[in-house]
Structure 1
Amino acid sequence: IRPGTDAALALGMVKVLLDEELFDAEYVRLHTNAPFLVRLGERGYDLQEASRSWPAGGESLPVDLRDLRLLTNGGSGPGSFVVWDERSGRPVAADTPGAQAALRGSYTIDGVRYQPVFEWMRAIAARYTPEVVHRITGAPADSVAAVTREYASVRPAAIIQNMAGAQRTDHGTLTVIGHLYLASLTGNVGLLGGGVNDNGGYLSEGGTVNPPVPLQRNPRIEGIPATKLGEYLVERKPHPIRALHVAGTGVLTQYPNTRKIIEGLDNLDLMVVQDIFMTTTARYADFVLPVTTLFETRNLLAGIRSRYIQLMEQAIEPLFESRSDRWIMTELAKRLGFGNDFDKPDDDLLRYVLEPTGVTLDQLEEGPVNPMPDPWIPFADKKFNTPSGRIEFFSLYLQERGFDPLLEYLHPVEAPWVDERRAARYPLQLINRKNHNHVNSSFHHHDFLTEIWASQVLQIHPDDAKPRGIEDGGRIRVFNDRGEIEAMAQVTRGIMAGVVSVTTGWGAVNEKQTASILSPDKYEPISLGHTLNSSMVEVAGGGAASPGDTA
């Protein structure tokens, strides 16, 4: 489907689940806040009547969902929220024993009209008919119901995002929320083989290990979103950045709008990069600190996509003048006056990190250890870390931060089907994909891998390639008003017409192959993530005009 339109597809599927009663009503009633009563305005809102004239999905609603208010009994905690009990015919606390919480209907309490959250979900989703979903996403209209029925008929059922950065569009968090809606409505949460996952495998529980040193945050210091680094460097706001110390990342290959970042580097007094290789970013540094490889350092290996904790044994002494990242940070901390927390033997720090897991260094000396139950099933106990203790279709977290508390699709900001004026110059939507030979910008310095994958590769549909005179394997240029990259064309029907795809993170070998040159430096408003899949470009053969000629 069109990049950035997944939430519209999800709402179309929600409509089918609700219309055909394919959802798990008992699960929704007991373990989500769908039955919680909500009002709009001081006296309430006639949702059933008013929603009949609401515009189709993708068009602005005549009401502001942020103004919705949940009914409470004046208390606090999970027991403070109110539902309508169908058995007693009156409002009761959501956790009242024996209550049968209503999912449908409209109820007047003390002269104010309320509806369950479920009714608002249904009214919003009703606007996403198969025809509307097709118009927004490009998905065949007759496929929406078929896919939904198949998903609802299988239990457990999982939604796998394939490590593709589902949130990396202008409103990408809505994609993830849409997936969670589908899993929660069908009761596919807390089941072995169910849920929503970015890689189809294992995601470890957060907070199972300690940070290397106790965290001491200064509330007066605000972080800088990575997506805004170029803007902050160039415009010197909200305050001038005088020094940049880069460790463990590729600023000029992973951060957006590379050209603006390079421009902003001139405003620095000092730039230091610590890395294993002389990367693209390192070449712009005033000082490069050589870092040890994993073969020269004793450390722990643990990640969110592996259930095991493993000891990384040091194989050789550090070569030449290289030092570990921890050694560099410890020495820097000493000079800044707080080195005591850092200046400890490596094994003492490793033991501290391991404390919450119950795993010891002695165990790891024998081999990798899985500290989690096998299988570990998140939310099997149906306990959720939310204000209501339930899955929250109506998200108080989002509402408190100024966002819609209920899922509603928003168009991407930068997309050819949205911005027709810009599409006249840059008619193709650019997305980034993973590559099995490289991990982001890692491994680009390996000669063997470079031999078998030596160039950035752009995938393009035959219907887009033919009118541009582009052939499979030909050299091409990809550009917009932010910059230009070079690539080899792969003409394939494996990508949607109107969309082109490049490898994310490529560019440690050649800056003109780094896709981040083309991506905008705006961030997804909820997650603050890089919207690298919301870029518009044009593609041409090697002799095409440069972006400066077309801007």
Structure 2
Amino acid sequence: MEVIRAVCPHDCPDTCSMLVTVDDDGRAIRMAGDPEHPFTQGFLCTKVAKYLERTYHDERLLQPQIRTGAKGEGKFRRATWDEALDLIAARLQSVIDEHGAQAILPYSYAGTMGLIQGESMDRRFFHSLGASLLERTICASAGAEALNVTYGTRMGTDPETVGEAKLIFLWGTNTLTANPHLWPFIRKAKDNGAKIVCLDPLRTRTALASDEHIPLRPGSDGAFALSMMHVIFRDGLEDRAYLEAMTLGWEGLRDRVLRDYAPEKVAHICRVEPSVIEDLAHRYATTRPTFIRLNYGLQRHGGGGSAVRAISLLPAVTGAWNDVGGGCLLSTSGTFHELNLSALERKDLSPPGTRMINMTRLGEALTKTDDPPVKALVVYNSNPGSIAPDRENVIAGLKRDDLFTVVLEHFQTDTADYADVLLPATTQLEHDDLHKAYGHLYMMYNRRAIAPLGESLPNSEIFRRLAARMNLDAPELRESDETMMRQVLSGMPFTLDELKERGSIRLDVGSPHLPYRIGAHVPTPSGKIEIASQRAVAKGLDLLPEYVPPYESGERDPELAKRFPLALISPPAHSFLNSTFVNVVSLRRSAGKPTLEIHADDAKPRGINDGKKVTIFNDRGSFTAEAVVTDRVRPGVVVAPSIWWAKLSDDGRNANHTTSQAVTDIGNGATFFDNLVEVRVH
């Protein structure tokens, strides 16, 4: 028996340290949380606790395969690695010869968050080819850009200090599902007298565990934050000393919110009483420390970037950034700025002027893009056939007979059914990797626990071999994973060997980390928190924060709202992580079947009873689900927990048949939750 320290690879802020027990035959037989990790503290979430079921799944892809049937039928034959790589190399070279390298599009995201298996040799390979660049903005970019133009980076409250807070806002985050390792720190604060307020359209597990739940209308978060500022400035509760020392343009913000964001006006936008805004603003401004945990749901609207910009400035208005346990947190990613990502990805290998295609608009890229058209698609660490918006268009593109598609995968997903070649990739237990967190402050090393199953290979090795097949002989395309690890860590105050030995190392940012206390350096052009931001203007936003209504709303498109009066949001199901784990039988059993939560006020006039099969539709498409009539969701809003593999649902569809390819006001992020629909009995 041996116990190996590993790291959860999935797209979650917690980036858990895990202990894998391997028996004498080399088989992993147990996984548990690592009790020695200061943040993740020895427990795993519902999903990753089943990781061995996923690793040893009966349907795991273990050999290369080549398509034999029509695209979408999912019919393949077994192939050797030599045959598969020779075919891929020949077809990619043919595309380059006929259409140029920009007719090749890589498509990847966060199937693994590992730096080596997620963004190393793959990037070097496609950059060396001169392939189209992928704008990877489907998840976090609206909020990231909002923080960048305001604070110059993505830093926030040290999550290990949250237990010191006396008032906590969980804003657009279902913490118990999507960030569970923060909860022990929240519970510590609560045990010490803190009040927990959850702002979410749905009464989630987290809302039920909080002291208060404020069910804001989807997409109205920015207006609510600006109205809180109205009350704070109106009643003289701002921290004038902090604003004058640390911010630029606060007077303009004060004037705007006092003029435009009175609670009586904003209450109608948010569908709450004015007294709710008044009360919360007063408590926020008069309690110290106060902490706001943002997450990514609230930015998946047209005005998502503006919403994050506004909310993130609340601690600047009250000076909460000065307090241990105070401030705001969306991501800790900016804290890892000493990582040498340029050495890892080698963007310098990409020819100047190479076009960029936004991953949210994959359907458009595959069906409308020309000059040149996309003729080859290489998918890894992603399942766009399930998760990309406007699925009707995505599938239409994947069906093209003239599109050559390669998929690196663990399973035959919705996307894999449309592949010409399937390549078996290793799971996290079968390769080494490096991980940076976006919900805590630790750099982490994943040690391989077991040998690769079947003929599976790490992503990095697949692209290394493919580069050799295509006669790309630059030395950076032959470097080992360990060499790349040393390169990316070259700017860190510790070595790879030290990280291997310890498993995880906290960044040297001080303890506690107070990134925006008075006197701290703010990495903006002015050296201050830029409430008035010329960089925001350059990216298409107003100089000052403002409320941007959802694209699909009565405010922006009254006619559309009459035809499709219900706002659909499709947050992560508790048992899934995006489309990962949907095929794990025990977790799918826990999830049940695709459902639609609908309030009785909306269900009754449509003749919808609990348990009825319903069709959810708009002009983009439709899907079916079982109705759950509940007061967990506010009237006018329906909720479809996601993301189901379409082929594992009754009608071969999922919520992304209704979602839009529109992108956010800043950062070109996806607008999954900016989605008006109608519902009828099936």
TM-score for the superposition, normalised by structure 2 = 0.64
Aligned partner of 2:449: which letter?
A
**Map of 1:387-406 to 2, 5 A cutoff?**
387-406=525-544
Which residue is equivalent to 2:567?
Answer: 429
Contact 1:359/1:371 (8 A) holds in 2: no
Aligned partner of 1:282: which letter?
A
Output one character per residue of 1:215-243: Cα deviation in whole Å (capped at 9) or x when no partner.
Answer: 31544013211122211221124641111
Aligned partner of 1:19: which letter?
R
The one of 429, 442, 446 aligned to 1:295:
429
**What secondary structure does 2:248 align onto?**
coil
Counterpart-to-counterpart distance in 2, 1:461 and 1:338: 61
Residues 214/376 of structure 1: CA separation in 2 closer, same or farther (3 Å cut): farther
Which residue is equivalent to 1:137?
Answer: 270
Deviation at 1:522, TM superposition (A): 0.7
Q: Are 1:126 and 2:264 matched, yes or no?
A: no
**Map of 1:39-438 to 2, 5 A cutoff?**
118-119=251-252, 121-161=254-294, 163-198=295-330, 205-211=335-341, 212-216=344-348, 217-237=350-370, 239-267=372-400, 268-334=402-468, 335=470, 337=472, 339-372=474-507, 373-380=510-517, 381-416=519-554, 418-438=556-576
Aligned partner of 1:2: which letter?
R
Deviation at 1:244, TM superposition (A): 0.8
Deviation at 1:378, TM superposition (A): 2.4
Matched pairs, number: 457
The structure with higher relative contact order (CA 8 Å, sep 6+) is 2
Deviation at 1:451, TM superposition (A): 1.5
Counterpart-to-counterpart distance in 1, 2:303 and 2:471: 40
Q: Which runs of 5+ in 1 are unaligned?
A: 35-116, 543-551
Residues 118/172 of structure 1: CA separation in 2 closer, same or farther (3 Å cut): same
**What secondary structure does 1:193 align onto?**
coil
**What secondary structure does 1:357 align onto?**
coil
The one of 9, 17, 20 aligned to 2:235:
20
Contact 1:204/1:306 (8 A) holds in 2: no
Contact 2:298/2:307 (8 A) holds in 1: yes
Counterpart-to-counterpart distance in 1, 2:471 and 2:537: 40
Q: Which runs of 5+ in 2 are unaligned?
A: 1-215
**What secondary structure does 2:475 align onto?**
coil
Contact 2:252/2:544 (8 A) holds in 1: no
**What secondary structure does 2:494 align onto?**
coil
Contact 2:389/2:656 (8 A) holds in 1: yes
Residues 388/510 of structure 1: CA separation in 2 closer, same or farther (3 Å cut): same
Residues 192/538 of structure 1: CA separation in 2 closer, same or farther (3 Å cut): same
Aligned partner of 1:292: which letter?
T
- Between 312-321 and 24-33, report the one with greater CA deviation: 312-321
The one of 510, 527, 540 aligned to 2:667:
527
Counterpart-to-counterpart distance in 2, 1:367 and 1:120: 47
Aligned partner of 1:385: which letter?
P
**In proportion to residue count, which structure has more helix?**
2
Deviation at 1:490, TM superposition (A): 2.2
Aligned partner of 1:241: which letter?
V
Aligned partner of 2:633: which letter?
I
Supply the RMSD in Å over aligned alpha carbons.
2.2
Deviation at 1:190, TM superposition (A): 5.0
Deviation at 1:384, TM superposition (A): 1.0
Residues 520/185 of structure 1: CA separation in 2 closer, same or farther (3 Å cut): same
Residues 502/323 of structure 1: CA separation in 2 closer, same or farther (3 Å cut): same
Aligned partner of 2:493: which letter?
G
**What secondary structure does 1:189 align onto?**
helix
**What secondary structure does 1:476 align onto?**
strand
Deviation at 1:297, TM superposition (A): 1.1
Counterpart-to-counterpart distance in 2, 1:505 and 1:338: 40
**What secondary structure does 2:321 align onto?**
coil
Contact 2:289/2:323 (8 A) holds in 1: yes
Counterpart-to-counterpart distance in 1, 2:653 and 2:641: 9
Residues 154/2 of structure 1: CA separation in 2 closer, same or farther (3 Å cut): same
Which residue is equivalent to 1:80?
Answer: none
Output one character per residue of 1:103-160: Cα deviation in whole Å (capped at 9) or x when no partner.
Answer: xxxxxxxxxxxxxx61464145422222211222212112111110000011221122
Aligned partner of 1:176: which letter?
V
Counterpart-to-counterpart distance in 1, 2:504 and 2:426: 25
Deviation at 1:16, TM superposition (A): 0.8
Deviation at 1:366, TM superposition (A): 3.4
Counterpart-to-counterpart distance in 2, 1:140 and 1:349: 55
**Map of 1:499-518 to 2, 5 A cutoff?**
499-507=637-645, 509-510=647-648, 512-518=652-658
Contact 1:121/1:406 (8 A) holds in 2: no
Contact 1:130/1:141 (8 A) holds in 2: yes
**What secondary structure does 2:297 align onto?**
coil
Counterpart-to-counterpart distance in 1, 2:268 and 2:317: 25
Which residue is equivalent to 1:71?
Answer: none
The one of 607, 621, 625 aligned to 1:487:
625
Counterpart-to-counterpart distance in 2, 1:488 and 1:538: 15
Deviation at 1:457, TM superposition (A): 2.2
Aligned partner of 1:534: which letter?
D
Aligned partner of 1:253: which letter?
S
Contact 1:456/1:513 (8 A) holds in 2: no
Which residue is equivalent to 1:31?
Answer: 246
Q: Are 1:452 and 2:585 matched, yes or no?
A: no
Q: Are 1:474 and 2:612 matched, yes or no?
A: yes
- Which runs of at least 4 in structure 1 moved beyond 4 Å after TM superposition? none
Which residue is equivalent to 1:49?
Answer: none
The one of 521, 534, 537 aligned to 2:677:
537
Aligned partner of 1:298: which letter?
D
> Sequence identity, in percent?
32
Counterpart-to-counterpart distance in 1, 2:426 and 2:547: 47
Contact 2:597/2:639 (8 A) holds in 1: yes
Contact 2:253/2:531 (8 A) holds in 1: no
Aligned partner of 1:209: which letter?
L
